[in-house]
Amino acid sequence: MSEVAELCSELLRIDTTNDGSGDGPGERRAAEYVASLLAEVGIEPVVFESAPRRTSVVARIPGDSRDALLMHGHLDVVPADPAEWGTHPFSGEISGGCVHGRGAVDMKGTLAMTLAWARENARRGVRPRRDLVLAFLADEESTGEYGAGHAVERHRDLFEGCTEAISESGGFSWYEDGVRIYPVAVGERGTAWMRLTARGVPGHGSKPAVDNPVAELARALARLADHRWPVRLTPEVARLIDELSRALGRSIDLDRLEEEIERIPRAAALFKGVLRNSANPTMLDAGYKVNVIPGTAEAHVDGRFLPGQRDEFLETVDRLLGPKVTREFVSFEEAVSSPAEGLFDELTAALLAEDPAGRPVPYVMTGGTDAKWFARIGIRGYGFAPLLLPPALDYFGMFHGLDERVPVEGLEFGVRVLDRLLTTG
């Protein structure tokens, strides 16, 4: 079995569940394992904690250029219920040509590729073309405050010289009509996680309500959920659609995108989630007894906005909520974008060197990653975790889904692409 598959399996066996409460196992065991793998081949790790068990690892590999590239990924994973899985989510089982477990795609498989590449080149004494900073971080699956946020705020010196970064959610193969497409992320929508509060007049549930905050909040949430956000075609998404048109050899009508989404559903999966802003109610909390009208009601909303759309997004949210519902941010991160040139061209060249038939395209993520934290200190981020996947494997469905798995051959492909990018050029 290849080293990358073994490393992925071992990482998956370590439970690093992060449900956002802070009560989980934390990332310490995984971080210590990663640190030992680096130290074993002479790469000196720096291990630090932002809170008990919330552990991260950073290491620098000297290269031929001091212009450093950051390669960052997260050690934590979202929860998984073993009763819902075909294999135990923390088994790391290798079967059917895949490594199975929570985090196989998001994103311990990518960490395993990074480690396998770094260890092999350290053993061979090969220097990368530029300085590399490897970061294995806590807490990305929540707000990132205990991982990338802490690293940026308290350990900024570890990222000295870093101007660009690569991480998750890009470089994977995706298919439409037999064409193998590789979306490389050049941007992310902004994040606005909000707590909504309605206040009213408490009273007996059998009496006519004077001002029921539960009803007020419910009406506001319905307006928010029912709102049809307008299409806002950003330059990054427009280029993605243009490149998809070229790759597929067919025109995609920008004035009829809804129809195009139906016509080319798999290719459209790369852009349909980034045509608009969005705001989805996700949590409700109100009342404590069936016959008591409470004085307050709360809800949480996952808001996402496109680059350049923050003000319009927030103005629309406030209008839909109305004057009786207030909002506050649980987490807020600006949308980020990077140029589809320079490093982007190097990333696509590395993919094409291993898969000449592939068609790399720029891509904007619907969600967010730790790239937003590093953007605060001037590091431009790209989503690039190269994987060659079979057409039948639903890559997007693996994220936070059941029976998450990654093909061994896909991991091995990723290591070769990283070597093209980092060593051979």
Nearest-angstrom CA–CA distance, 338 and 180? 24
* Structural domain includes residue 107: yes
376 domain-assigned: yes
Q: Do both 156 and 286 map to the same domain?
A: no
The pair of structure tokens assigned to 355 is: 């898969």
**pTM here?**
0.92
Residue 311 among the catalytic residues: no
Are both 136 and 54 inside the same structural domain?
yes
Q: Are residues 121 and 159 in the same domain?
A: yes
Do 217 and 284 lie in one domain? The reply is yes
Cα separation, 131 vs 287, in Å, equals 56
Residues near 222 by Cβ (< 8 Å), separated by ≥ 6? none
Same domain, 317 and 376: no
Q: Let me know whether 114 and 225 are in one domain.
A: no
In a domain, 177, yes or no: no
Per-residue confidence (pLDDT) for residue 395, from 0 to 100: 85
Which domain CATH number covers 109? 3.40.630.10
Tell me what pLDDT residue 425 has.
55
Same domain, 401 and 319: no
**Catalytic entry in 93, 131, 140, 370:** 140
In a domain, 265, yes or no: no
Q: Distance (Å, rounded) from C-alpha 37 to C-alpha 118? A: 10
Q: Do 81 and 217 fall within a single domain?
A: no
End of a domain among 333, 352, 377? 333
Residues 140 and 285 placed together within one structural domain of the fold = no
Residues 17 and 63 in one domain: yes
Please spell the DSSP secondary structure of 382-403, one letter per residue: EE---B---TTS-HHHHTT-TT
Q: Residue 53 sits in which domain range?
A: 3-169+369-423
Catalytic site residue 140? yes
Q: What is the pLDDT of residues 220-236, one digit of tens each?
A: 999 999 999 999 999 99
In a domain, 8, yes or no: yes
Q: What is the DSSP annotation of 294-343?
A: -SEEEEEEEEEE-TT-HHHHHHHHHHHH-TTEEEEEEEEE--EE--SSTH
Given a cut of 70, the residues of the chain with pLDDT beneath it are 424-425
pLDDT of residue 362: 95
Domain count for the chain, please give it.
2
CATH, residue 311 = 3.30.70.360
The predicted pLDDT at position 9 comes to: 98
In the structure encoding, which two tokens stand for residue 199, read together?
Answer: 């206040």
Residues 63 and 161 in one domain: yes
* Active-site position among 76, 236, 333, 419: 76
Instruction: Write down the pLDDT at residue 424.
Output: 66
42 domain residue, yes or no: yes
Let me know whether 146 and 13 are in one domain.
yes
pLDDT at position 66, please? Answer: 76
Whether 416 is in a domain gets the answer: yes
Asked if the structure places residue 12 within a domain, the reply is yes
For residue 112, report the phi and psi dihedrals to the nearest 5 degrees.
Answer: -65, -40
Residue 33, pLDDT score: 98
